[in-house]
């Protein structure tokens, strides 16, 4: 059951089969409060859905998974969009703070992990920047554009 007002579709479903008959861009799966962390849920779902879907999460403190079609990720999408514009991984800059950013951070030649992000970020990012509240993204962009501070 969603914890936010999303309008007419806030009834939830008892069985997943009831929700997968119509096209969808992304499914969100939530666990009962405190039962599993997002990382624990991700480990289980990734194993169970490995050949069916791409599973990730964007919030380590909330038990919420994001489930997309197999092969759909930020990294794959960024690569496609970049290619359409004649760009490569060397032309792109990415920033990430959670597992849903891992593929994007891996793909881009210039990728930064947020210092206050998920502990596994540096397995995928090339660099690390300061935390969100310390304007980590802005500091990197200023350096990249050689703007005065």
Q: Which domain holds residue 82?
A: 74-145
* DSSP-derived secondary structure letter, 37: -
Same structural domain, 64 and 79: no
Same structural domain, 39 and 56: yes
Burial track 85-104 (b if 16+ CB lie within 10 A, e otherwise): eeeebeebebbbbbbbbbbb
- Give CA–CA dist 79/85, Å, rounded: 10
Same structural domain, 84 and 137: yes
Same structural domain, 57 and 108: no
Same structural domain, 78 and 64: no
pLDDT at 65: 87
Q: Kind and range of the H or E element at 78? A: helix 74-84
Mean pLDDT for the chain overall? 86
pLDDT at 6: 57
Positions in the chain whose pLDDT score sits under 70: 1-13, 16, 18-24, 33, 147-149
Same structural domain, 62 and 125: no
Same structural domain, 78 and 137: yes
Q: What is the pTM of this model?
A: 0.78
Same structural domain, 87 and 140: yes
């Amino acid at each position: 059951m969603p914890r936010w007002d999303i309008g007419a579709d806030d009834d939830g479903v008892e069985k997943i089969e009831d929700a997968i008959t119509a096209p969808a861009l992304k499914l969100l799966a939530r666990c009962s409060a405190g039962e599993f962390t997002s990382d624990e849920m991700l480990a289980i779902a990734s194993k169970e859905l490995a050949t069916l879907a791409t599973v990730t999460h964007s919030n380590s403190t909330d038990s919420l998974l994001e489930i997309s079609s197999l092969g759909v990720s930020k990294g794959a999408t960024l690569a496609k969009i970049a290619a359409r514009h004649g760009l490569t991984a060397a032309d792109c800059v990415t920033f990430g703070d959670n597992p849903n950013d891992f593929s994007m951070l891996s793909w881009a030649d210039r990728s930064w992990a947020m210092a206050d992000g998920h502990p596994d970020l540096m397995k995928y990012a090339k660099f690390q920047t300061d935390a969100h509240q310390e304007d980590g993204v802005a500091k990197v962009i200023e350096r990249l554009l050689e703007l005065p501070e």
